[in-house]
Chain A
Amino acid sequence: MSQTVDVGTPPAPARDERVAQRSTLGRLLARPEVGALAGAIVIFIIFFIVAPPFREPSSLATVLYVSSTYGIPAVAVALLMIGGEFDLSAGVAVTASALVASMISYQFSANMFVGILVALVVALAIGFINGYLVVKTGIPSFLVTLGTFFMLRGLNLAVTKIVTGNVGTNDVSDIAGFEMAKNIFASQFTVGGVSIRITLLWWILFVAIATWVLLRTHVGNWIFAVGGSAPSSRAVGVPVNKVKIGLFMTVGFLAWFTGMHILFAFNTVQSGIGIGNEFIYIVAAVVGGTLLTGGYGSVIGAAIGALIFGMTNQGIVYAGWNPDWFYFFLGALLLGAILFNNFIRQRAEASR
């Protein structure tokens, strides 16, 4: 109480001497994706040494293609996880979108884009329902989306069987609009003799947009905030429910996009695929430094996580190893990444 009230402001130092010791390296290590980047480099070097076919540019293109098919939904899943929620239905939502687009266009003899648009509406609706149930009931999204996961899984199979009499959909390649849709979602082009799939470009675009939104816009600020502390965000006027529902719908959107790719890459869709992929999206995000509890993470990290997945997935084949081991490696990778990220984050936060 004897303290004097000092209203006068001290002169602002041009350079605060207390921040000087934080080196560029320290700053770099504080980034969420640094652990994943180090891991990706190590894995790349390992396969580069042990698997000669891995060194071919065409192999690299395949790795990037595989990575992109997981990386695209992982962009949205990472955003959602930064926003503090889970989506276990993302994997089957991909399949559901592809099935809907295929069956609508085929059964109604409609233009391909009618099916594509209906599928988009369905995918966004799945995201909306997930989000709405989570914010309105307060039930953990893990449980809500586990429910929708099983429901979709059942619907995919049951409805496909009712409509087509089969577990897969009919070939859509002679439907009007197919060529154009294929150009958008599943075309390829050649660069220097290497065939590149268009999903790679879409992936890069989605990562760039999501990163920009996350780091440079107020919406990104809100995503970090609702994941970090929803009650605090609400107290300062952040529309928490809208942000969360929007994130679930973003997952729906990119699930739809991935579903369209699968449809136009293979012309038919098997109703049972996609199960288990939701975990790969989550693994990509977590390996990329996104906190399981929300409020911290990066989309670029999730992209690197998907790349690690793609490299391991293909690298094992190129190295001639038994692919049965793949999931063991994936699990070990996940565990390693979590431990490493934990260590890095603690270090980074302590050094401030």
Chain B
Amino acid sequence: MTATADTRTKAPLVRLTDAGKNYGNIIALQGVTLEVGGSEVTCVLGDNGAGKSTLIKIIAGLHQHTHGTYEVEGESVQFDSPREALDRGIATVYQDLAVVPLMPVWRNFFLGNEVRKGPAMDIAGMRRMAKQELLDMGIDLRDVDQPIGTLSGGERQCVAIARAVHFGAKVLILDEPTAALGVKQSGVVLRYIIQAKERGLGVIFITHNPHHAYPVGDRFLILKRGRSLGYWKKSEITMGELTGLMAGGSELEELTHELEAAGTESSGLREVAHVFEQEVAELHVGGSGGQRTPPSDNTGARRDASQT
């Protein structure tokens, strides 16, 4: 943990300042400011098409930002390839996990970073290391020789995270790791996020689920239509506010009215509209309850978190 303290005093591992990206005349991302230090989790929230994937691609080195600055440990960078980002310790775990389903777990674990022993690979060593590393992350696999496709979604996600950690990642970018998972599996993945954080890593957690983001996050960035809606520390925002901003409270309200109007003909739609109405009401309660709470006041946050 001393290493963590060191990184804390230094510049953050990753810092974007007013960063943006244009594809020709299309503005994909604009004015995004974000930072993550060691032992911190920064959550990036946004609906589909909000610019989350563009943001990841910039940080991961797949795309270059066209505006603003991108600093790694205080040094301004412009990555030309994911390899360069990896060499600086920025590892991305994509939604599809970059695993090859038919290959054994250990082969996937070391794919692209095989341990060599002369001209061949150190197969016994890699098997043992993969098993040990996964065990250290609390993943007890039956057999590292089984095809990774036979693991559950959560387990696969954890293997991908463990792999990034093993190969010296300082910053982990997790692209919607819980999107395709059930409640229990999501819990497992969130647990690994916390574990990675406790190991001193910085985590950028991309999600559209505030219920997953709030419990693990230290900072929150909300994106909408390529713009930053805001950037908060955990002490500055409550679960309710986050959910409200995420869902776009006003939009939900509009949808309710629309459904209600249509619902005069159909009782089914009316019911749906009623459900939405209740949800909007809840959002307002949560939102106003936590509105402009002083940073020290965490009661609202805790209450909301416990509701989930």
Contact = CB atoms under 8 A, between A and B. Distances in A.
A228 B101 contact: yes
B79 interface: no
B268 interface: no
A221 B107 contact: yes
A3 B191 contact: yes
Interface string A201-220: 00000000000100011100
B102 A224 contact: yes
Interface in A39-74: none
A352 B99 contact: no
Contacts of B82: 235, 237
B61 to A, nearest CB: 11
Interface stretch (A7-15, A119-127, A191-199): A7-15
Most buried by B among A12, A232, A295: A232
B120 A233 contact: no
A181 interface: no
Interface string A292-309: 000110000000000000
B200 to A, nearest CB: 13
A289 to B, nearest CB: 12
Most buried by A among B83, B116, B147, B198: B147
A232 B96 contact: yes
Contact of A224 (B100, B112, B120, B135): B100
Nearest to A17: B142
Given A5-B194, A224-B103, A229-B101, A217 B111 contact: no
Secondary structure at the A interface, as helix, strand, loop or mixed, is: loop
Given A1-B215, A3-B187, A19-B143, A238 B103 contact: no
Interface residues on A, range: 20 to 34
B112 A237 contact: yes
B119 A237 contact: no
A12 to B, nearest CB: 6
B277 interface: no
A5 B121 contact: no
Contact of A352 (B103, B146, B190, B305): B146
Contacts of A5: 191, 194-195, 198
B102 A228 contact: yes
Contacts of A232: 96-100
Contacts of A222: 111-112
B99 to A, nearest CB: 6
Contact of B195 (A7, A218, A221): A7
A296 B103 CA distance: 8
A231 B116 contact: no
B102 A233 contact: no
B147 A349 contact: yes
A225 B142 contact: no
Given A16-B143, A233-B98, A352-B146, 8 more contacts: A1-B215, A10-B138, A212-B120, A229-B98, A229-B101, A233-B112, A236-B113, A352-B143
The 3 lowest CB-CB distance pairs between A and B, nearest first, are A228-B100, A218-B114, A235-B98
